[in-house]
Amino acid sequence: MTLQSGQTIFLPRCCDDLLLRYVNDKQQCQLSAGYQKKAFNIERFFGEFFRPHEFVAFRKLQFLATTNFNLAKVSNNFVISGAIAMNFVSRSPSGSTLSIFSYMGLTDKIVSWLFSVGYQSFRSITSKELLCEEISILARGIAQGETPTLQDRTWEFYCQGINSVDEEYLVTVSACIDSPVADILRLQPSTREMNIITAYNAYSLFPLAAIGTGTSYAVRPHSPPHSQQAIRQYLTVKPHLLLGAKESLSIDGPYTILNYHTFRDSFSRIIPLQGNRDASFDAVALTSFSISYAAKSLMFNFITCRATAGKLTYCLSPSLSADID
């Protein structure tokens, strides 16, 4: 059989088994690392949004670190989510929209940088200075207790593609009231889109849904869960009642099925970026939450807690938050 240059052949599964049988653990790790590096090339994935030198500057901006408890530099100032994060996890084309979720204090720096690399605003305010002033006014309002909608604290920018010059590429920057992760857990519409790209890793809470081989469920808006104390009191009053199927699966009742989860548990997937396998520098890795399941939807239950030192806000499951308090 003659192969043409660049032609790909697919070997049967038995060949994979034979290959792995005769390589040692170190060689298997090298094979796995090589695959990860090629399959999840973050620079190539964002190639239509940024030129190579612009991408380096974008990653440096994302790597801006915040001191957490004076122990380590933790990256969580802004993250990438939405359809583009799902496409990265599923190894699909990037699409034309990049969604950034940022702490309010970093939003003006991201906006200024986008202007500097040629992006233009979709709003009537096209001046960088005026747009940054609008962000400052919004930040002061939030500090005074205002809670603007996601639409009111999201700015859109567009630019021609690096290679596809006839197509416009969109970057949205959302300023978050509590934290980027909190907004994503509250506002993403389905489990398929629960994916996050940080400076260190890409995380997928529901990897099978993200790649299309598992069922995706709708996500209900976050609301305070019923306390365990209220459930105990109810059972004390009516101890003879047994839970029916409808009651136990109701997302609005006191009998929701609560599960403790993190971005690093056995149900999630972590994709290291640029060969980095240490997630300890990611504030996202310290996030935890409970999930209330219904028949066809679910809801994330968590409480936001600000670190006593530093400026980060963490999402913690209600039980863990109570233990810390």
Residue 10, pLDDT above cutoff 80: no
Q: Pick from 150, 187, 179, 207: which is nearest to 286 by CA?
A: 179
Side chain identity, residue 254: P
User: 117-141: b or e for each residue (b if 16 or more CB lie within 10 Å)?
Assistant: bebebeeeeeebeebbebbeebbee
Q: Beginning with the edge strand found earlier in the chain, give each strand of the sheet holding 297-301 in spatial order.
A: 218-219, 297-301, 288-293, 257-262
Residue 197, pLDDT above cutoff 90: yes
pLDDT of residue 282: 75
- CA separation for the pair 164, 30 (Å, rounded): 35
Q: What is the largest CA-CA distance in the chain?
A: 79
Alpha helices in 163-243 (DSSP H): 180-187, 207-211, 228-237
In a domain, 29, yes or no: no
pLDDT of residue 85: 94
In a domain, 20, yes or no: no
2 burial via Cβ count (<10 Å: 0-12, 13-18, 19+): exposed
In a domain, 4, yes or no: no
With bands split at pLDDT 50, 70 and 90, how would you rate the model's confidence at 236?
very low
Alpha helices in 50-205 (DSSP H): 52-62, 83-89, 104-116, 128-143, 180-187
In a domain, 156, yes or no: yes
In a domain, 219, yes or no: yes
Pick from 37-46, 93-102, 119-128 the range whose average pLDDT is largest: 93-102
Q: What is the count of structural domains for the chain?
A: 1
Structure tokens at 269: 């997937």
pLDDT tens-place string over residues 52-92? 999 989 988 887 644 333 334 445 678 999 999 999 999 89
Range of the domain at 161: 39-324
pLDDT tens-place string over residues 104-116? 888 999 999 999 9
> How much is the average pLDDT of 175-193?
89
In a domain, 201, yes or no: yes
Threshold 0.85, pTM exceeds: no
